[in-house]
């Protein structure tokens, strides 16, 4: 059974990714900042897929938490096949440039950029032992310089930097045959996207898993894509 780690899996797109991966037969390691507050969706998945969905305490903003999570994971599995860096925050959405708080920018960069960097720092050794490996970083159209807009400063900067980090990962691990993508999941109904969003998180999750399984996109093609594998402008 293939192993997948999903960060921020306790709600929104993360929990839908966990559901989709479980339905496809993966052993799911669902990262959550507080394992005791994993959310109703993950609890239901654990009941639906007994012994297949596991909640892993993993706070991507805390290096010790990430390190400990992978030490525990390494004691339970021999290899990891897919890592999905999904955990992210969006703060200060309505703040104007002259009013924005640098502390909010810093918090978003720590979660949205440094988080994936730490996860891969400690996750790469297990990933190297897997098969058909994939690294999926959940990005956003907000991180596109071609489509830059005024606002969401910290979020946009963090996602733009995440795209750059993904390009570096593609250079390092694409040559080894890994599928490496920064994925815009679309405007979907989640806590972040809101109820007015036209897309469903479940549909986005299915597309993202197709990318991880090489059913969409091209490993040698563009690395910044939407959930359908269609190229996004950087």
Residue ranges of the chain with pLDDT lower than 70?
A: 37-38, 189-199, 219-220
Looking at residue 224, its pLDDT comes to 96
The model scores a pTM over 0.85 = yes
CB-CB contact of 115 with 60 (8 Å)? yes
> Where in the sequence is the domain holding 45, given as residue range(s)?
3-226
Express each pLDDT in 190-214 by its tens digit. Answer: 666 566 665 678 999 999 999 999 9
- SS3 of residue 122 by DSSP: helix
Tell me whether residue 111 is in a domain: yes
Looking at residue 53, its pLDDT comes to 97
Looking at residue 97, its pLDDT comes to 85
Looking at residue 151, its pLDDT comes to 85
Number of domains present in the structure of the chain: 1
Tell me whether residue 232 is in a domain: no
Tell me whether residue 233 is in a domain: no
Task: Kindly state the DSSP code that residue 199 receives in the 8-state scheme.
Answer: B
Cβ-count burial of 56 within 10 angstroms (0-12 exposed, 13-18 middle, 19+ buried)?
A: buried
Tell me whether residue 33 is in a domain: yes
Output phi, psi for 145, to 5 deg: -70, -30
Q: What is the CATH number of the domain that holds 77?
A: 3.40.50.720
Cα–Cα–Cα angle for 8, 15, 63, rounded to 5 degrees: 15
| Measured distance CA(199)–CA(179) in Å, rounded | 25
Looking at residue 98, its pLDDT comes to 85
| Measured distance CA(223)–CA(40) in Å, rounded | 33
């Amino acid at each position: 059974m293939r192993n997948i780690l999903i960060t921020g899996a306790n709600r929104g797109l993360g929990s839908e990714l966990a559901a989709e991966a479980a339905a496809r037969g993966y052993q799911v390691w669902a990262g959550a900042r507080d394992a005791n507050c994993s959310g109703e969706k993950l609890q239901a998945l654990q009941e639906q897929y007994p012994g297949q969905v596991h909640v892993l305490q993993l706070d991507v903003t805390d290096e010790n938490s990430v390190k400990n999570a992978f030490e525990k994971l390494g004691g339970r599995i021999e290899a990891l096949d897919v890592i999905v860096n999904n955990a992210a925050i969006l703060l200060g959405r309505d703040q104007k440039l002259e009013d924005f708080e640098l502390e909010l920018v810093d918090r978003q960069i720590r979660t949205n950029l440094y988080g994936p960097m730490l996860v891969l720092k400690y996750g790469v050794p297990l990933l190297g032992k897997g098969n058909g490996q994939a690294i999926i970083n959940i990005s956003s159209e907000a991180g596109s310089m071609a489509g830059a807009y005024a606002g969401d400063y910290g979020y946009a900067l963090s996602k733009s930097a995440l795209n750059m980090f993904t390009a570096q990962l593609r250079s390092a691990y694409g040559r080894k045959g890994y599928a490496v993508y920064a994925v815009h999941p679309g405007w979907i109904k989640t806590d972040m996207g809101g109820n007015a969003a036209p897309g469903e998180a479940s549909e986005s999750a299915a597309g993202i898993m197709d990318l991880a399984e090489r059913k969409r996109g091209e490993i040698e093609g563009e690395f910044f894509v939407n959930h359908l594998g269609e190229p996004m402008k950087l």
